[in-house]
Amino acid sequence: MSGEAGESATERVPAAGPSRTRVALLGSGELSRELVTALQRLGAEVIAVDRYADAALHGIADRSVVVDLSDNDELAAAIRWLQPKVVVVGSEVVATDALTAVVDTGFTELAPGIRAARLAADPEGLRRLAADELGLPTAPFWFAGSVEELRAVAEHGGFPMVVKPVGGALGEGRSVMVRDSDIEPAWQRAVAAAGAGVPPRVLAETVVEFDSEVTLLAVHRDGADGPALDFCAPIGHRTEENPNGQLTVELWQPYPMSAVALDAAKSVAARVARALGGRGLFGVELLVHGNEVYFTGVNVRPYDAALLTLRTQRLSGFELQARAILGLAIDAIMVSPGAARLLYSRRPPGPSAAETAPDGVDVVADALSVTESDVVVFGHHEGHPRRRLGLALATGPDVTVARDRAGQVAAALGKLWP
């Protein structure tokens, strides 16, 4: 920990008043900003814990602490000192042995839960849990740790085959191999997308026919008769990457599904959420083809798809997570069809970026001239290997109109990053 007892200089003195539930958030990335705000609105005291002093949330949390999240002893000592009522895992680099010690105290609760926290940092283990232990429908898959292993997988599984990094953003680093000459480029693309310091490992899947990729947000909470689940309307998404490295994830809600497919999707999501355990929001990733549903992954906290719910639902995914963490009543009501375009980049800003960038206010004003639109411009830590740049949001009378409007907003907003 750095500084006196590890706290940074951004601590704010809490106002006198009722006792506040203390929540320690491990990992203070930009995406958790909405969660911090939601928790504070519900009366919680939020302590942002991260490995660097200028983390995105340190300016808005009630207190901030600098800790090496990957160091078991340091993290455990910080949690013992802070004595939070709830520890929320917001990063994949958290030392899970320290979290086990937290659970063993019986005083501090963990969200989403120790099994989910462990598997959040182990996508391979998570996939095997789903396929082998839970028996969920998945495309045939293999993992490979080298080009040679990937070549052996291709010889065994046959072409075509999808290759993607074990971790990473939606759609990032993905390739479709259709011949032997595609194997090495697919490996290089996936490994590069995983970022520096990540062990080189890829997931290879047999190509299955599907209509869309879908995220189903499931809220696991304490109900009157035990653990309960609530589901948001399904969110469709697709990913594009242009030659300069900018990734765009398009999202829309609701994604139209047959009653049979929706029931199957809810069954898959429920089995995953119950197996992982703990309170919170799970983003279950699926491939949908007619009435068929295939499991592809799960996020154990709000991720990209939850950003769309900032405008489509009465309670956003972040507000749902906050209420589930605190054991409060929720509803997953969608108030308007909507769509979003999330602009994502791995390319670091060039030295002359500030000189060539257009006036931000003028660009945002142009984007907001679209009917029922909104935008978010993200901040980020300079050392982060992947960067969310901006979010274009729009609602409408139906999904088709909302998607068209979100495209217009994104075209305007994208001028901020020429």
Domain count, the chain: 3
55: domain CATH number? 3.40.50.20
Residue 348: inside a domain, yes or no? yes
Residue 5: inside a domain, yes or no? no
Q: CA 385 to CA 9: how far, in whole Å?
A: 26
407: domain CATH number? 3.30.470.20
Residue 125: inside a domain, yes or no? no
Residue 116: inside a domain, yes or no? no
Residues 163 and 220 in one domain: no
Residue 6: inside a domain, yes or no? no
186: domain CATH number? 3.30.1490.20
Q: Is the pLDDT of residue 23 over 90?
A: yes
Q: From start to end of 166-313, where are the E strands? A: 175-177, 202-206, 212-223, 226-231, 235-241, 246-253, 280-289, 292-299
Q: CA 207 to CA 176: how far, in whole Å?
A: 8
Q: Is the pLDDT of residue 52 over 90?
A: no
pLDDT digits (tens, 9 = 90+) for 71-130: 999 999 999 999 999 999 988 888 888 888 877 877 889 998 888 888 877 888 888 999
- Domain boundary among the residues 185, 206, 227 is at 206
- Domain boundary among the residues 206, 227, 255 is at 206
> Which residue range forms the structural domain that includes residue 156?
140-206
Q: Is the pTM of this model over 0.75?
A: yes
pLDDT digits (tens, 9 = 90+) for 275-285: 998 889 999 99
Residue 328: inside a domain, yes or no? yes
CB 48 within 8 A of CB 113: no
Residues 256 and 329 in one domain: yes
- Domain boundary among the residues 183, 206, 229 is at 206
Residues 330 and 307 in one domain: yes
Residues 392 and 246 in one domain: yes
